[in-house]
């Protein structure tokens, strides 16, 4: 078979394919003209009704020694109340599922994940955030130890790490490096600054206890 005949057959096949595509497209366009519309994914998915706003409730609790009287949606987490309502942005939002420890604060001296704690739950309790850890003139010994031992890189998890570290010392879990690591395991550091964090806790522990 000559090259010209092969080329002629390929040309005919291409024309047939092209004509079929154009014909199907024309048919679809004609159908839309008669009111027929192809179903779309957006049309098939039912749109959920908007969530109704719940009435706000009064919530009062102490934050860093200052009484806060708030009107909040009852679904507001303590983390969101601290950051969005009170304006204390030192406490960070990480996973928002209580898995990373970035949002750690103290409630009545006990460390908690503020993303899993409803603001309404802390009514009449005392909350301490990273902003209220030190005195007006000096930073907390744990904060200084983190600086001295370079216990951070990006710094995003550092507020939660420091709050957990202070609780770790107060709970008496600093007898060994292994124990510190165990009781700090709920606070993740994506930068891997764990050796510096452990060293900082070991340095600050006797200063806090003394």
- In this predicted model, which residue has the larger pLDDT, 54 or 102? 102
- In this predicted model, which residue has the larger pLDDT, 197 or 39? 197
Helix-then-strand count for the chain, H and E: 7, 5
Please give the radius of gyration of the chain, using alpha carbons only, rounded to the nearest integer. 31
C-alpha angle with apex 149: 201 to 106, nearest 5 degrees?
40
Taking only the tens place, the pLDDT of each residue in 68-91 is: 999 999 999 999 999 999 999 999
Taking only the tens place, the pLDDT of each residue in 123-138 is: 999 999 999 999 888 9
pLDDT at 13 over 80: no
First to last CA, the chain: 100
Q: How many Cβ atoms sit within 10 Å of the Cβ of residue 170? A: 16
pTM score, two decimals?
Answer: 0.75
Task: Say if CB 201 and CB 165 are below 8 A apart.
Answer: yes
pLDDT for 197: 99
pLDDT for 26: 52
Q: What is the mean pLDDT of the chain?
A: 86
Give the sign of the dihedral formed by CA 62, CA 66, CA 71, CA 76.
negative
Pick from 102, 113, 97: nearest CA to 154: 102
User: Among residues of the chain, what percentage have pLDDT more than 70?
Assistant: 75
pLDDT at 2 over 80: no
The first and second tokens of residue 141, run together, are 């010994």
pLDDT at 186 over 70: yes
Q: Find all residues with CB under 8 Å of 77, minimum gap 6, and list them.
A: 114, 115, 116, 117, 118, 119
Task: Say if CB 200 and CB 151 are below 8 A apart.
Answer: yes
Taking only the tens place, the pLDDT of each residue in 103-120 is: 999 999 999 999 999 999
């Amino acid at each position: 078979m000559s090259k010209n005949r092969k080329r002629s057959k390929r040309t005919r096949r291409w024309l047939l394919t092209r004509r079929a595509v154009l014909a199907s497209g024309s048919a679809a366009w004609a159908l839309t003209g008669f009111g027929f519309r192809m179903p779309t994914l957006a049309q098939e998915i039912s749109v959920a009704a908007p969530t109704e706003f719940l009435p706000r409730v009064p919530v009062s609790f102490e934050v860093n020694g200052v009484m806060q009287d708030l009107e909040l949606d009852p679904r507001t987490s303590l983390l969101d109340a601290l950051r969005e309502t009170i304006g204390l942005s030192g406490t960070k939002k990480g996973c928002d599922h209580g898995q990373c420890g970035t949002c750690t604060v103290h409630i009545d001296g006990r460390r908690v994940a503020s993303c899993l704690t409803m603001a309404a739950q802390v009514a009449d309790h005392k909350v301490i955030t990273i902003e209220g850890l030190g005195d007006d003139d000096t930073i907390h010994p744990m904060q200084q130890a983190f600086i001295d031992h370079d216990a951070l890189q990006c710094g995003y998890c550092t507020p939660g790490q420091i709050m957990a570290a202070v609780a770790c010392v107060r709970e008496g879990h600093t007898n060994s490096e292994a124990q510190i690591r165990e009781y700090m395991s709920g606070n993740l550091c994506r930068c891997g600054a764990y050796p510096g964090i452990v060293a900082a806790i070991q340095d600050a522990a006797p200063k806090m206890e003394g």
